[in-house]
Every structure is written in structure tokens, then in C-alpha cells.
Structure 1
């Protein structure tokens, strides 16, 4: 009976450990050391973005089938629409990286970029927008959004 008791306890512990490892949502960064080395570059990039004084507005509109449309309007420091940029959007779950959902944005008008996510669950998401020009990231923003 003692061997059976400890066998059950060890078996349950192994099962719980395996389930915990499989459902681990992950970490914010894979390597804290590599992230710390890139930190100064991120500060410089953020200062350059701030100096450009771009105004980038994003609007998320839910569709009836559980999807969402993301529209981004980009204007320069004078308020003129900016064309020719490549915007990428990403809905990130704050609690689980496996649920992250990229959204491809295409320019549909001068300074207006639009893309859709066919299926996105309701709840809190981090909307990450990246604007690229000439292969270089010119804009980055991260905002918490609530989708119903």
C-alpha cells in the first residue's frame, strides 16, 4: 500500500508538472540579457520618433462575425497625410503570447491604412503598431484596447 500511495503521488505530480509546462504562456522577452543590450538603441529610436511629431491614430471596429477591422491614419508634423509607409499591426494578449494575432495593413487612401482580423476573441488586447519606411522602423506604439 505504501508503494502504491507514493506511486500515485509521484504520478500525479508528474502529470501536473507536464500540464503546467505545456500551458506556460511564455515570457515577455526570451533573453533579458539581449533585451538589456538593445535598450539604448530603443531609447534612441523613441527619441527620434518623438522628434518627428507624427500623429498616428488607430481605430478598431468590430464586425458581427467576431472579427475586427483596424484602420490607421498617419499624418506628419504639419498634419499632412503620409503615404508610402508600410504599417504592421499586431493584437497581443497581455497574458498569453500564443494568442497573438498579426494584422496586415494595406494603404487604402493617402495616409490611411486598413487591415482585418477575421476572428479575434473579446477581452483586453495590446495593439502594437509599427510603421516602416525604407526598411527602417520609423514608428512604434503599444496601446491597451478592450474588444467586446
Structure 2
């Protein structure tokens, strides 16, 4: 049996320390660049363009909401029916809501598609169905319902 000579451990030099530090910061910078590129490529915009102006209009928006609530209209969640948007609106006494003009602007939540304008017609059951097909995907609908001198505005998501 041969005796093995003990192997001397390698010395830790300044080159090793430099390589570890450079590698560490290289990984940190690479991850930061990757995360920044994801953030920039997926951010679709702002909630409001100017928060100060929005804060000044807040009380007006509350008053409009109270006024709309006083109508007593009931609005269902928007649904897809054969590719079109469908919404049910009921009057204060829960009857079919006749004679209204319903329109919507469909906005892609991350701005990857142009807005789509939708006009609705009332079907035999009293539901309002968009004339045009809404493209697949998730959309934010800014809906306007008008009958006589009363108008309601609301926002709903549709998948």
C-alpha cells in the first residue's frame, strides 16, 4: 500500500476574492435588468394621469354616484354571448329596462390593443347585446346607459 501525500489546500488569493465580488454584483445587476425589462414591458399606463386633478374632482364623482344610485337601476355583470358583450339592465321596479341607449368603450387593461367602441341593441328578452364582436381577452368596459335625461356611467371588466 502506498502512502498518499497530503494535498496542501489552495491558497485564497486576491484574485479569488475579486472573482467572487464581481460574480456576485454581476448576478445582482443581471437580475435587476431582467426585472426592470419585465416591469417596463408589462406596465400599461396609469390609473389617473394627474392625481391632484383627480382629487379635486372626487366630490363631484361621489355626487354623480349618489345621483345614479337614486335612479334605482340594476345592472348585471357584462358577459360574453357568442363573442358579443351582453348586459342586463332592470328598472327600479325590477322590470325590463326599455328605451335606453347603451354604449361602451372597451379598453385593453395593459394597452396592447386599440380601444373598441360598442353599441348595444335590446333583444327580445330585454338584454342589451353589442352589435359587434368583442375581441378575445380581458377588457375594461366603460359603459354609458342613457334613458331620457338620466345617464349612468360605470366600468366593468369582461374576460
Q: Into which bin does the TM-score normalised by the smaller protein fall? A: 0.5 to 0.7
Aligned-residue Cα RMSD (Å) equals 3.0
Partner of 2:85: 70
Unaligned runs of 5+ in 2: 1-39
Q: Which has the larger radius of gyration?
A: 2
Does residue 1:53 correspond to 2:67, yes or no?
A: no
The answer (yes or no) to whether the contact 1:93–1:125 under 8 Å persists in 2 is yes
The answer (yes or no) to whether the contact 1:25–1:98 under 8 Å persists in 2 is no
Instruction: Output aligned runs, 1:130-145, within 5 Å.
Output: 130-134=144-148, 136-137=150-151, 139-145=152-158
Greater strand share, structure number: 1
Unaligned runs of 5+ in 1: 1-19
Per-residue Cα deviation, 1:60-118 (whole angstroms, up to 9, x for no partner) = 3254xxxx212222112211112121111232221117532221112334743221443
Cα gap change, 1:97/1:49 in structure 2, threshold over 3 Å: closer, same or farther? farther
In 1: Cα distance, 2:90 partner to 2:123 partner: 15
Does residue 1:103 correspond to 2:94, yes or no?
A: no
Q: How many residues align?
A: 119
